[in-house]
């Protein structure tokens, strides 16, 4: 079995999370509050997101959010790759 590169896998997860965050930001800025609520309500199986959606997010807050999501995604991806690699070692021995 092949080992996963922890840093590359973390980077892939981090960039994917940042891309999803950016997509959400684009949806919220283009369709407004009502459109965002409708979109996320259907995406989340009817969960009412009307009290959670804030479309007046300052640019600075959005940039900080995308960085935070990238860091969390990198950590999650790195952990998954590391745990996967540990399991491979156990199977080989």
The answer to whether 18 and 69 are in contact (CB under 8 A) is yes
Neighbours of 40 (CB within 10 A): 18
Tens digit of pLDDT at every position of the chain (93 positions):
789 999 999 999 999 999 999 999 999 999 999 999 999 999 999 899 999 988 888 999 999 999 999 999 999 999 999 999 999 866 655
Phi, psi of 4 (to 5 degrees): -95, 140
Domain ranges of the chain: 6-88
């Amino acid at each position: 079995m092949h080992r996963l590169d922890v840093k590359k896998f973390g980077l892939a997860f981090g960039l994917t999370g940042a891309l999803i965050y950016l997509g959400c930001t684009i949806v919220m800025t283009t369709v407004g509050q009502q459109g965002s609520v409708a979109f996320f309500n259907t995406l989340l199986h009817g969960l009412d997101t009307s009290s959670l959606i804030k479309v007046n997010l300052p640019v600075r807050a959005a940039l900080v959010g995308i960085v935070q999501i990238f860091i969390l995604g990198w950590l999650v991806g790195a952990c998954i790759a590391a745990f996967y690699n540990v399991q491979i070692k156990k199977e080989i021995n």
